[in-house]
Structure 1
Amino acid sequence: MATTDAAVATGTAAFDLTGRTALVTGSSQGIGRTLAQGLAEAGATVIVHGRDAAKAAATADGIATGVGRDVRSAVFDVTDPSAVDAGIQALEDEHGALDILVNNAGIQRRAPITEFRDEDWTDLVSTNLSSVFYVSRRVARGMVARGSGKLIQIGSVQSQLARPGIAPYSATKGAIAMLTKGLCADLAPHGIQANAIAPGYFDTELTQALVADERFSEWVRGRTPAGRWGRTRDLVGALVFLASPASDFVNGQTLYVDGGMTAVV
């Protein structure tokens, strides 16, 4: 919702998401689940999204029980533009234009570049990049009509840094940083802010093999000035800031939440 200078919230009120509706893609587990819960705790009406209806509904119910407020779920394929259009239309029919979109859905594939399979490249680009374009494009139409909105992409330290074996993943996450700038260029005149959060190395369900690899974990701790893996709750403060009126003059930026990894050599 648009504000005038006289109505700008200050203090902790600037971070209050009461009355806002938020969709978090890929939020039935991992980082996405924590992000959805954090938005709900800040007062938003949250829509958990995934491809598995039962899993998304169970996650929504679990968050709702924990925060004591209604949490919904939605199921559609973010890599299919027709499915995205139908899925967002159904949400708008029920909730009106969304206030907050968190483009969190993503996958990882690992292999040396000389052995990287075509189908893995296609899956990475489709899930990590094309989906952000499809969902943002559709959600932004309602935001433009209303004159306000928050688009938040989940990037990575690989938006800036590269490592062996994940060149295609790094390419998709680097593109997220530039797509975010492009969204800012197109949508800022309509009162919409587009920003990205770039996590470092985080301990989640999907990274357990890496966490359990003591040699790799030692590298992460040594390479990160904070000296540890990230915890998913470390992302919530940045998310609430970017989703709230507190960030109304922040646009086109990538905020690295990485314990200092990208700040030092």
Structure 2
Amino acid sequence: MGRSVRGARVLVTGATRGMGRLFAERAAAEGAAVLVLWGRDTAALDEVAGAVARPGLTVRTDAVDLDDLDALDAAARALLAELGTIDVLVNNAGVITSNAYFWELRPAETTHTLRVNTVAPMRLVGHFLPGMIEDAPRAKRILNVASAAGIVPNPRMSVYAASKAAMLTWSDTLRLEVEQAGHRHVAVTTFSPAYVGTGMFAGTRRILLTPELTPERAVDQAWRALLAGRANVITPPTVHVARAARGVLPPRAWDRLARFFGVHRSMDGFTGRR
């Protein structure tokens, strides 16, 4: 894809705030031809659309609740009917409902988290990937935003962690399937950051040697990886260390180490967005 998305048709989910808005701004600044913004809040979508508007860019907004799979399907079909296909899909939208222990969660919270964080991205790729494959040799990119929570277990976020672990494994397997099938013009990138300061995880406690990422830094890392077609980005580097340590240490030894670094208490003061 080169150094930019110039001339591309780009879809960003969760585009009204946080990283999603920054992804939208990045696509517009780099000369995307069509920018499709998905979110739940119509007024917020209109505000972002106005902020990113510029000559030569067509901005489309769709108010879509990713928990409503029928609505998701309908919106995807309508978009395909209008554009034929897209060039870049940024599966950014995500939710976490609380910092409750698993047995304290309402069943609806569990279902909601899994639908938005895992099932919806899969469903979207199911709609758009066939057209991306057929539109060879034009470069295509899929960015799936997972989380370090899917790599390192952390109390008080069990369902969120499970949804992101599933996202991570599915996304990287999808990458392998696309490559094995010979569709070299399509690249799938999985982005797994630790806490990002978007407000979604407000109130979380600091983890030793693991600074909270700024949204700008996180999006820059993810975007550059998307353009380059890199397979995985895990950030910051301490997450790599934690993954390696968890792989070689006995479970109880890893638990003690994680407690020492503050991982297991990082969600105690969570007040972030639901």
Does the 8 A contact of 1:39 with 1:46 survive in 2? yes
> In the alignment, what sits opposite 1:166?
157
Task: Please point out which of 202, 218, 233 is paired with 2:216.
Answer: 233
Partner amino acid, structure 2, of 1:19: G
**Larger deviation: 89-98 or 26-35?**
89-98
Does the 8 A contact of 1:30 with 1:204 survive in 2? yes
Q: 1:195 to 1:100 in 2, by over 3 A?
A: same
> In the alignment, what sits opposite 2:232?
254
Give the alignment's TM-score, normalised by structure 1.
Answer: 0.80
Does the 8 A contact of 1:78 with 1:135 survive in 2? no
* Secondary structure, counterpart of 2:203 in structure 1: helix
> In the alignment, what sits opposite 1:243?
226
Instruction: Indicate yes or no: 2:176 matched with 1:185.
Output: yes
* Secondary structure, counterpart of 1:206 in structure 2: coil
**Larger deviation: 41-50 or 119-128?**
41-50
Partner amino acid, structure 1, of 2:51: G
The Cα offsets for residues 71-91 of structure 1, whole Å up to 9 and x where unpaired, read as 332222323343223212222
* Secondary structure, counterpart of 1:223 in structure 2: coil
Task: Please point out which of 101, 109, 134 is paired with 2:89.
Answer: 101
- 1:255 Cα deviation (Å)? 0.7
Partner amino acid, structure 2, of 1:256: I
> In the alignment, what sits opposite 2:192?
198
Task: Please point out which of 98, 105, 116 is paired with 1:116.
Answer: 105
The Cα offsets for residues 41-95 of structure 1, whole Å up to 9 and x where unpaired, read as 2222322110222211211212226x99443322223233432232122223333
> In the alignment, what sits opposite 2:15?
27
**Larger deviation: 168-177 or 183-192?**
183-192
The Cα offsets for residues 23-46 of structure 1, whole Å up to 9 and x where unpaired, read as 011111111111211222222232
Does the 8 A contact of 1:79 with 1:134 survive in 2? no
Task: Please point out which of 38, 41, 65 is paired with 2:29.
Answer: 41
**Larger deviation: 69-78 or 169-178?**
69-78
**Larger deviation: 103-112 or 140-149?**
140-149
> In the alignment, what sits opposite 1:128?
117
Instruction: Indicate yes or no: 2:32 matched with 1:55.
Output: no
Task: List, as ranges, runs of 4+ consecutive aligned residues in structure 1 with deviation greater than 4 Å.
Answer: 67-70
Counterparts of 1:142-161 in structure 2, within 5 Å, are 142-147=131-136, 148-161=139-152
The Cα offsets for residues 197-242 of structure 1, whole Å up to 9 and x where unpaired, read as 11211111323333xxxxx1xx23x331xxx321111123333333
Instruction: Indicate yes or no: 2:72 matched with 1:84.
Output: yes
Over aligned residue pairs, what C-alpha RMSD do you find?
2.2
Does the 8 A contact of 1:154 with 1:198 survive in 2? yes
Uncovered stretches (5+) of structure 1, i.e. residues with no partner: 1-8, 211-215
Give me the whole-angstrom Cα distance separating, in 2, the residues matched to 1:95 and 1:156: 31
Does the 8 A contact of 1:104 with 1:154 survive in 2? yes
Does the 8 A contact of 2:12 with 2:38 survive in 1? yes
Partner amino acid, structure 2, of 1:104: N
Instruction: Indicate yes or no: 2:241 matched with 1:264.
Output: yes
Partner amino acid, structure 2, of 1:242: A
What is the number of equivalent residue pairs in this alignment? 235
Give me the whole-angstrom Cα distance separating, in 1, the residues matched to 2:11 and 2:118: 17
Does the 8 A contact of 2:172 with 2:190 survive in 1? no
* Secondary structure, counterpart of 2:187 in structure 1: strand
Give the alignment's TM-score, normalised by structure 2.
Answer: 0.78
Does the 8 A contact of 2:86 with 2:128 survive in 1? yes
Uncovered stretches (5+) of structure 2, i.e. residues with no partner: 243-274
Partner amino acid, structure 1, of 2:209: R
